[in-house]
Chains A and B, each alone.
Chain A
Amino acid sequence: MTMMLNVKDLRAYYGQVQALHGLSFSLNEGSLTTLLGANGAGKTTTLRAICNMVRSTGAIEFEGKPIGNRSTENVVRLGIAHVPQGRGTFTNMTVEENLQLGAITRGDKKNIVADIERMYDHFPVLKQRHTQQAGTLSGGEQQMLAVARALMLRPRLMLLDEPSFGLAPLVVRDLFRILGKINREDKVTILVVEQNAQLALELADQAYVIETGRIVMSGNAKDVANNEDVRKSYLGY
Chain B
Amino acid sequence: MELFANQVLAGIATGAIYACMALAVVMIYQAIDHLNFAQGEMAMFSTFMSWQMMQWGVPYWWAFILTVILSFAGGILIERLLFKPLAKAPVLTNVAGFIALFAIVNSVAGLIWDFTIKQYPTPFGSSPFLGSQLISTHQAGMVGVTLLLLAGLYFFFQFTRIGLAMRAAASLPESARLVGINTSWMIALGWGMAAAIGAIAGMLIAPVVFLEPNMMGGVLIYGFASAVLGGLSSPLGAVIGGFLVGVFENLAGTYIPGVGNELKLPIALALIITVLVVKPAGLFGRPIVKRV
In the complex, are the beta carbons of A105 and B180 less than 8 A apart?
yes
The total of chain A residues at the interface (CB under 8 A) is: 31
Most A CB within 10 A of own CB, among B179, B181, B291? B179
Q: A136 at interface (Cβ–Cβ under 8 A)?
A: yes
Report Cα–Cα, A11/B185, bound state, in Å: 29
* Mask of A92-113 contacts with B, CB within 8 angstroms, 1/0: 1100010011101100000000
In the complex, are the beta carbons of B288 and A92 less than 8 A apart?
yes
In the complex, are the beta carbons of B180 and A90 less than 8 A apart?
no
The size class of the interface chain B forms with chain A is 20 to 34
Report Cα–Cα, A135/B292, bound state, in Å: 9
In the complex, are the beta carbons of A135 and B288 less than 8 A apart?
yes
In the assembled complex, which residues on chain A have CB atoms less than 8 Å from the CB atom of B167? 93
Report Cα–Cα, A72/B181, bound state, in Å: 9
* Mask of A75-101 contacts with B, CB within 8 angstroms, 1/0: 011000110100011111100010011
Q: For the complex formed, measure the closest distance between the CB of A103 and the CB atoms of chain B, giving whole angstroms.
A: 8
Other-chain residue from A73, A91, A104 in contact with B290 (beta carbon distance below 8 A)? A91
Name the residue of chain A whose CB is nearest to the CB of B289: A135
Q: B87 at interface (Cβ–Cβ under 8 A)?
A: no
Q: B165 at interface (Cβ–Cβ under 8 A)?
A: yes
Report Cα–Cα, A91/B172, bound state, in Å: 9
Most A CB within 10 A of own CB, among B165, B174, B178, B291? B178
Most A CB within 10 A of own CB, among B168, B171, B175, B289? B175
Name the prevailing secondary structure of the B interface residues: helix
Q: A43 at interface (Cβ–Cβ under 8 A)?
A: no
In the assembled complex, which residues on chain A have CB atoms less than 8 Å from the CB atom of B178? 51, 72, 76, 81-82, 84, 88
Other-chain residue from A73, A101, A135, A149 in contact with B291 (beta carbon distance below 8 A)? A135
Report Cα–Cα, A137/B165, bound state, in Å: 22
In the complex, are the beta carbons of B174 and A104 less than 8 A apart?
no
In the complex, are the beta carbons of A72 and B165 less than 8 A apart?
no
Q: A153 at interface (Cβ–Cβ under 8 A)?
A: yes
Q: For the complex formed, measure the closest distance between the CB of A191 and the CB atoms of chain B, giving whole angstroms.
A: 15
In the complex, are the beta carbons of B165 and A101 less than 8 A apart?
yes
In the complex, are the beta carbons of B291 and A97 less than 8 A apart?
no
Report Cα–Cα, A23/B167, bound state, in Å: 37
- Of residues 125 through 161 on chain A, the ones whose CB sits less than 8 Å from some CB of chain B are 133, 135-139, 149, 153
Report Cα–Cα, A22/B181, bound state, in Å: 30
In the complex, are the beta carbons of B175 and A104 less than 8 A apart?
no
In the complex, are the beta carbons of A77 and B180 less than 8 A apart?
yes
Report Cα–Cα, A105/B177, bound state, in Å: 11
Q: B183 at interface (Cβ–Cβ under 8 A)?
A: yes
Other-chain residue from A82, A104, A139 in contact with B165 (beta carbon distance below 8 A)? A104
Q: B182 at interface (Cβ–Cβ under 8 A)?
A: yes
Q: For the complex formed, measure the closest distance between the CB of B144 and the CB atoms of chain A, giving whole angstroms.
A: 30
* Mask of B80-94 contacts with A, CB within 8 angstroms, 1/0: 000000000000000
In the assembled complex, which residues on chain A have CB atoms less than 8 Å from the CB atom of B175? 84, 88-90
Q: A216 at interface (Cβ–Cβ under 8 A)?
A: no
Name the residue of chain A whose CB is nearest to the CB of B292: A139
Q: For the complex formed, measure the closest distance between the CB of B290 and the CB atoms of chain A, giving whole angstroms.
A: 5
In the complex, are the beta carbons of A104 and B179 less than 8 A apart?
yes
In the complex, are the beta carbons of B288 and A91 less than 8 A apart?
yes
Q: For the complex formed, measure the closest distance between the CB of B157 and the CB atoms of chain A, giving whole angstroms.
A: 11
Q: A53 at interface (Cβ–Cβ under 8 A)?
A: yes
In the assembled complex, which residues on chain B have CB atoms less than 8 Å from the CB atom of A100? 161, 164
In the complex, are the beta carbons of B288 and A101 less than 8 A apart?
no
In the complex, are the beta carbons of A92 and B291 less than 8 A apart?
no
Q: For the complex formed, measure the closest distance between the CB of A51 and the CB atoms of chain B, giving whole angstroms.
A: 7
Residues of A within 8 A of B (CB): 51, 53, 71-74, 76-77, 81-82, 84, 88-93, 97, 100-102, 104-105, 133, 135-139, 149, 153
15 extra interface residue pairs, beta carbon distance < 8 Å, beyond A72-B178, A104-B180: A71-B177, A73-B181, A76-B177, A76-B179, A76-B180, A77-B180, A84-B174, A88-B175, A93-B167, A101-B176, A104-B168, A104-B181, A135-B290, A136-B289, A149-B179
**A-B residue pairs in contact (CB < 8 Å), sample of 27:** A72-B178, A73-B183, A76-B177, A76-B178, A76-B180, A77-B180, A82-B178, A84-B174, A84-B175, A88-B172, A88-B174, A88-B175, A89-B175, A90-B168, A90-B175, A93-B167, A97-B164, A100-B161, A101-B164, A101-B179, A102-B179, A104-B168, A104-B179, A104-B181, A105-B179, A135-B290, A149-B179
The 3 A-B pairs of least Cβ separation, nearest first, read A88-B175, A105-B180, A76-B180
